[in-house]
Structure 1
Amino acid sequence: MYDQIFEQMKAQVCKKLDNLDKHLTYHCKEHTFDVLEQSIRIAKAEGVTNAHQLHLLKVAALYHDSGFLETYADHETHSCMIFLSEANRYGFSDEDKEQIIQLIMATKIPQAPDNLMERIICDADLDYLGRDDFYKIGDTLRQEFLHYSIVKSDDEWEALQLKFLLNHHYHTQASQQLREPVKQRHLHQLQ
């Protein structure tokens, strides 16, 4: 039951994400699908087996950056509004909708997750920090930040990246074990 509904939602969101600004080199469709994949992987590693909870997590991952279709700043709020505008056709209860909104909003930087599901989506959103494709993906964020004038130069980017890594921590045991050692290696290389 959940799979069929989710596949319908995924197709719809995927079609929408094709309209993202081409300068969103990091916050793109590939990032959304990476967060979705990592959410499922981390949930499994954390022992989450409840099909309903997994469904809500997957939906939140799917919509978490859809707000970039409308705005850069505070995109999470817009992601929630996009989800809510489509939620009724998929039969979500008010409680489900609230939980998905909380999951989406948990990804806002700085992250402050309140429960396991929020910790999972937060770690999935920043999973790449502790992976071997860190520099490749980081470069897409650097390009995006330069384009949108979030940073003005590569030096400013490197300082921001270093500060972000120093302040970041993974929230789930699974990510702390798997990703933290690699993230620390990246941090050491940047210092």
Structure 2
Amino acid sequence: MKVKHNDNSLLIEVAAFIATLFKERLDSKYSFHNLEHTKSVVMGIETICIAEKIDQEKTDILLIVAWFHDAGYIGGCENHEKRSAKIALEFLQDRNISANIRQKISDLILATRFNYIPKNQLEKIIKDADNAHLANENYLDSLEQLRKEWGNSINKKYSNTDWFILNIEFLKKHQYYTKFAQKEWQNLKEKNMELIEKKLQNI
């Protein structure tokens, strides 16, 4: 069972489709959930799949999921995962991708929901890739982009104190699921948490 439609050409089509979709239809108020974040998740998938020795077919499925997982933001934040899955399903059906593969991709997109606990290896990989930014050097920048997005899109505005406390609590609860992320990203995430704690102390 293969993803088919010449896997490489399909991934190129997917990437181009999402880039165009976001350019034409994503509101600029989404300063975090945009093409840059999507590309970061794609890179996270590539990194984890190489480290965990995931076969090419599963890697391709996960890469498609990464490209589509926030496509639903073109219709707003609420229930965006369901919209993302619908957009992916329509795109893949038009290219005669098998029903079995389409279902896997849809299920994995829904696994990116905020409080969802992953139940298998592929779900663990997409969850970790979606949170790769927590371990990035530019984490504080992405945090500001998210604060700006929440202020503009869902009218949630936070003082520095409240914002730092909220994110420290999130980082304490958050966990990585794959062996790679636990080994390579956990310490970096904790360092980022220390940076926020210092900022909180200096307010």
- TM-score bracket for the superposition, by shorter chain length: over 0.9
Instruction: Pick from 3, 27, 30 the counterpart of residue 8 of structure 2.
Output: 3
Q: Which residue number in structure 1 is paired with residue 42 of structure 2?
A: 36
For the residues of structure 2 that align with 1:107 and 1:150, how far apart are their CA atoms? 23
Judged with a 3 Å threshold, the aligned counterparts in structure 2 of structure 1 residues 175 and 150 are, in CA distance, closer, same or farther, namely: farther
For the residues of structure 1 that align with 2:58 and 2:183, how far apart are their CA atoms? 23
Shift of 1:34: 0.9
User: Match of 2:193, as an amino acid?
Assistant: L
Q: Which residue number in structure 2 is paired with residue 172 of structure 1?
A: 178
Alignment RMSD (CA, Å):
1.3
Shift of 1:130: 1.2
Q: Which residue number in structure 1 is paired with residue 86 of structure 2?
A: 81
**Superimposed CA distance per residue, residues 14-62 of structure 1 (whole angstroms, 9 cap, x where no aligned partner):** 10011211010000111111101111111111111x2221111111001
Q: Which runs of 5+ in 1 are unaligned?
A: none
Matched, 1:115 2:120: yes
Q: Which residue number in structure 2 is paired with residue 187 of structure 1?
A: 193
Structure with larger Rg: 2
Question: Which secondary structure does the structure 2 equivalent of 1:40 belong to?
Answer: helix
Checking the alignment, whether the CA contact within 8 Å between 2:147 and 2:157 is kept in structure 1 is: no
TM-score where L is the length of structure 1: 0.94
For the residues of structure 2 that align with 1:184 and 1:37, how far apart are their CA atoms? 21
State, as a whole percentage, how many aligned pairs show the same letter: 26
For the residues of structure 2 that align with 1:91 and 1:168, how far apart are their CA atoms? 38
Checking the alignment, whether the CA contact within 8 Å between 1:40 and 1:58 is kept in structure 2 is: yes
Q: Which runs of 5+ in 2 are unaligned?
A: 1-5, 198-203
Matched, 1:71 2:76: yes
**Superimposed CA distance per residue, residues 134-176 of structure 1 (whole angstroms, 9 cap, x where no aligned partner):** 1111111111112224632223322221111111000111011
What stretches of structure 1 move > 4 A for 4+ residues in a row? none
Checking the alignment, whether the CA contact within 8 Å between 1:77 and 1:105 is kept in structure 2 is: yes
Matched, 1:94 2:99: yes
**Superimposed CA distance per residue, residues 56-80 of structure 1 (whole angstroms, 9 cap, x where no aligned partner):** 1111001000000012111000101
Matched, 1:153 2:158: yes
Question: Which secondary structure does the structure 1 equivalent of 2:176 belong to?
Answer: coil
Shift of 1:129: 0.6
Checking the alignment, whether the CA contact within 8 Å between 1:17 and 1:69 is kept in structure 2 is: yes
User: Match of 1:93, as an amino acid?
Assistant: S
Moved more, 154-163 or 25-34: 154-163
Aligned positions, number: 190
Q: Which residue number in structure 2 is paired with residue 56 of structure 1?
A: 61
For the residues of structure 1 that align with 2:190 and 2:155, how far apart are their CA atoms? 25
For the residues of structure 2 that align with 1:87 and 1:163, how far apart are their CA atoms? 38
Checking the alignment, whether the CA contact within 8 Å between 1:71 and 1:78 is kept in structure 2 is: no
